[in-house]
């Protein structure tokens, strides 16, 4: 830990001293799963660690996942380098956010580099907060700094895998959950609130739903606030972020063993739920928790919607959205057909991606 802190003290006036009692400016802990901060760990792999920014209710706390295989300077085995991860998390407690700069220690995704060092971008960031090292060190370290615009309710995570490029991918599932839009892909989730991607995302979906399989085929939230996930021939139900049911077979819902490709909650009362697969659809009744008929209807009832879809959701105005590949279709609930001007590209409309110079729709 001292070596991980040293990379920051070498380029700033900061000094760090280990204390054995009382409250320190930086508190380090190795914990497992749920550990009191509403950000549970997920066992080996996935989320490695997290830290709290200055000026937050847990400022200075750094938590490492106890279940990881931690190593020092060894990239040959299956372990994760503790020095790299610790230095990254200490950057957060000092006030640094993630960066997209190449080879930066403060990149949001774990990459083994040895020996440990700061990139020019890391050094500029920390010196912007604290200045350059003084010739004669002072006896008192400056107060931990913060950057303008940091959302102090969000925690930056180091994740072991790289998420797909949101501007060049299809999605496994999309669902409106607690009034926010969640896009799922390859075990990761993007969280949009009022059309804006939230800080700290994309993140592993297991950050919210412990034990969730990856990837998911479909997802929806019912009127009681239960969140349903589908993968293959099974489904799971969560009460918020707490496991409630599953895995359970799709046959319990009156479906055959083939997977559900998309789920759509329809109507203001969330009382109409539809499952889609391969040009067919079923209506699901939450009260009986069965589909109304095991024999599906043809998806051509949804005029203008492609026969094969990847995901579906309803917005606050009652419009339904159907996604396939990089495109989406917006469905009018009054005229019961797709609106003019669709399909459109998902990336530019939802994630502010650049519009391709030549687009085929």
pLDDT in tens, the chain (361 residues): 989 999 999 999 999 998 888 778 898 989 888 887 767 787 887 778 888 888 776 788 899 988 888 888 776 677 888 998 999 999 989 988 887 777 888 887 777 777 888 999 999 999 998 888 876 544 444 444 444 333 322 333 344 457 889 998 999 999 999 899 999 999 899 999 999 998 888 888 887 888 888 899 999 999 888 999 999 999 999 988 888 898 999 999 999 767 899 999 988 777 789 999 988 999 998 888 899 888 889 988 899 999 899 999 999 889 999 999 999 999 998 898 999 999 999 999 999 998 775 444 3
Q: Give the span between the Cα atoms of 79 and 100, in whole angstroms.
A: 24
The reply to whether 280 sits in an annotated binding site is no
Sign of the dihedral defined by the CA atoms of residues 349, 351, 357, 361, in that order: negative
Q: Give the span between the Cα atoms of 255 and 280, in whole angstroms.
A: 12
Asked if residues 226 and 238 have their Cβ atoms less than 8 Å apart, the reply is: yes
Q: Is 21 a catalytic residue?
A: no
Inter-helix orientation angle 2-9/82-93, to 10°? 50
From 89, 180, 241, 269, active-site residue: 89
Q: Kindly report, residue by residue over 179-205, the tens digit of the pLDDT.
A: 999 999 998 999 999 999 988 888 888
Please give the structure tokens belonging to residue 207: 């950050």
The reply to whether 98 sits in an annotated binding site is yes
pTM above 0.85, yes or no: no
**Domain 1-130 belongs to what topology?**
Collagenase (Catalytic Domain) (3.40.390)
The reply to whether 292 sits in an annotated binding site is no
Asked if residues 97 and 106 have their Cβ atoms less than 8 Å apart, the reply is: yes
- Identical topology for domains 1-130 and 173-351: no
Q: b/e string for 166-201 if b means 16 or more Cβ within 10 A?
A: beebebbbbbbbeeebbbbbbbbbbbbeeeebbbbb
Q: Considering the chain, what is the average pLDDT of its residues?
A: 84
The reply to whether 217 sits in an annotated binding site is yes
Q: Any idea where the domains of the chain sit in the sequence?
A: 1-130, 173-351
Asked if residues 233 and 245 have their Cβ atoms less than 8 Å apart, the reply is: no
**Domain 173-351 belongs to what topology?**
Hemopexin (2.110.10)
């Amino acid at each position: 830990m001292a070596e991980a802190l040293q990379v920051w003290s070498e380029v700033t006036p900061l000094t760090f001293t280990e204390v054995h009692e009382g409250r320190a400016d930086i508190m380090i802990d190795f914990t497992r799963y749920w550990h009191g901060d509403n950000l549970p760990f997920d066992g080996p792999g996935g989320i490695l660690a997290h830290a709290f920014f200055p000026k937050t209710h847990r400022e200075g706390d750094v938590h490492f996942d106890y279940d990881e295989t931690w190593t020092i300077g060894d990239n040959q085995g299956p372990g994760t380098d503790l020095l790299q991860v610790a230095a990254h998390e200490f950057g957060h407690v000092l006030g640094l956010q993630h960066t997209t700069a190449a080879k930066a220690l403060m990149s949001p995704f774990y990459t083994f580099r040895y020996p440990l060092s700061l990139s020019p971008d890391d050094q500029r960031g920390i010196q912007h907060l604290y200045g350059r090292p003084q010739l004669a060190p002072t006896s008192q370290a400056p107060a931990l700094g913060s950057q303008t615009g940091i959302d102090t309710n969000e925690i930056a995570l180091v994740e072991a895998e790289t998420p797909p490029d949101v501007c060049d991918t299809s999605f496994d599932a999309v669902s409106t959950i607690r009034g926010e839009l969640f896009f799922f892909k390859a075990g990761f989730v993007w969280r949009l609130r009022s059309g804006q991607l939230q800080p700290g995302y994309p993140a592993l979906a297991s950050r919210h739903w412990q034990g969730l399989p990856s990837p998911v085929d479909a997802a929806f939230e019912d009127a009681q606030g239960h969140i349903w996930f589908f993968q293959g021939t099974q489904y799971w139900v969560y009460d918020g972020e707490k496991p409630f049911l599953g895995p359970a077979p799709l046959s319990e819902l009156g479906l055959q063993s083939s997977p559900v490709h998309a789920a759509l909650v329809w109507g203001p009362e969330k009382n109409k739920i539809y499952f889609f697969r391969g040009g067919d659809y079923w209506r699901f009744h939450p009260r009986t928790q069965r589909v109304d008929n095991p024999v599906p209807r043809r998806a051509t009832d949804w005029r203008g919607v492609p026969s094969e879809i990847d995901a579906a959701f309803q917005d606050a105005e009652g419009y339904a959205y159907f996604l396939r590949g990089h495109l989406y279709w917006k469905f009018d609930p009054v005229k019961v057909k797709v609106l003019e001007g669709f399909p459109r590209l998902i990336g530019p409309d939802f994630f502010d991606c650049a519009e391709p110079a030549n687009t085929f729709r």
